[in-house]
Amino acid sequence: MKEMTAHTRTAGGRATPLQISERPHHLSRNLRVGANFRAMSNARDYLPELRAANGQIASLLCCSRDLETVRDSLFRYLEMRERRLLEPGHASPRLSRVLANQAIRVCKHVIGRLNEERVGTSALATLAQMAADESIADTVSPGFVLEFIHLFRAICGHPDLYDGGMFQSEDLLNVVEGTGREAARAYSRILDTLAMRMARDIGRYPSGLEPQVRVIRAHNRERIRRYFECSSTEWNDYVWQIRHVITDAETLSALVELTPEDTDAIQRARVYGIPFGITPYYASLMDRVPSDHDHAVRAQVIPPGDYVSCMIEHSEDRATALDFMGEHETSPVDLVTRRYPEIAILKPFNTCAQICVYCQRNWEIDRVLSPSAMASREKLEGALAWIERHRAIREILVTGGDPCLMSDATIFHVLSRLSRIPHISRIRVGTRTPVVLPMRWTEELVGVLAQFHEPGMREVAVVTHFEHSYEVTPEAMEAVQRIRRGGMSVYNQEVFTIENSRRFETARLRKDLRLIGVDPYYTFNLKGKSELQRYRVPIARLLQERREEARLLPGLERTDEPVFNVPRMGKTHLRAGQDHRVIMIRPDGARIYEFDPWEKGITPVPTYLFTDVPIYDYLMELTRRGEDSADYASIWYYY
Going from the C-alpha of 516 to that of each of 25, 231, 434, 482, the distances in angstroms are 35, 27, 11, 11
- Give the number of other Cβ atoms within 10 Å of residue 312's Cβ: 16
Radius of gyration (Cα) for the chain, nearest Å?
A: 26
Among residues 283, 277, 275, 285, which one has the least CA distance to residue 307? 275
pLDDT at 317: 73
Q: Is the peptide bond before 401 cis (omega within 30 degrees of 0)?
A: yes
What are the 10-residue block averages of pLDDT along the chain, 639 residues in total? Answer: 33 33 30 46 92 95 89 97 86 82 97 97 97 95 97 90 55 69 86 91 96 98 98 98 97 97 95 93 97 96 92 78 76 93 95 87 79 95 98 96 96 98 98 98 98 97 98 98 98 96 98 98 86 91 96 95 87 83 97 82 78 96 94 95
Whole-angstrom Cα distance, residue 235 to residue 486? 24
pTM above 0.85, yes or no: yes
Q: What is the pLDDT of residue 33?
A: 41
pLDDT of residue 604: 67
**What is the C-alpha separation between 567 and 560, in angstroms, rounded?**
21
- What per-residue confidence (pLDDT) applies to 599? 61
Contacts 24+ apart (CB under 8 A), 44-48: 44/134, 44/135, 44/137, 44/138, 45/142, 46/137, 46/142, 46/145, 46/146, 46/149, 47/130, 47/134, 47/137, 47/145
